[in-house]
Amino acid sequence: MSEAKKLHVKKGDKIVVLSGKDKGKTGKIIQALPKKSKVVVEGLNTVKRHTKPSQNLPQGGIIVKEAPLHSAKVMLVCPACDQATRIKKTSLASGASVRTCKKCGEIIDK
């Protein structure tokens, strides 16, 4: 299997989709999959799955759920300036590295 890649977004980040059927929509990341370079966004990239009845789902039927989206298709939305932005890594005095908004310079990781 491929090595896990470092993603520019994390679980809980607010993002905007750059391309695909959900282009321009915003959402919150509910799961990050670094080994596949994908993220699952709440309410976006939904697909229908036809499932057989099981113990977990005795009814069965058509289930609508979120499918993973490639991380290159999403861009982080800065919580301070509320714009889609790239990030840069900044070192603090304590030696820790944090993500910073390139547009307003505000620290994203609190």
pLDDT at 1: 55
> What digits encode the pLDDT tens for the residues 3-54?
778 899 999 999 999 999 999 999 999 999 999 999 999 999 999 999 999 9
Beta strands in the chain (DSSP E): 14-17, 26-33, 38-41, 46-51, 61-66, 69-70, 74-76, 87-91, 97-101
Q: Are 77 and 63 in contact (CB under 8 A)?
A: no
Joined together, the tokens standing for residue 80 give 């301070």
The model carries a pTM of: 0.84
pLDDT at 48: 97
Q: What is the CATH number of domain 13-77?
A: 2.30.30.30
pLDDT at 109: 81
Region 57-82: mean pLDDT is: 94
Q: Buried (b) or exposed (e) across 12-34, using 16+ Cβ within 10 A?
A: ebbbbbeeeebeeebbebeebee
Domain ranges of the chain: 13-77, 85-109
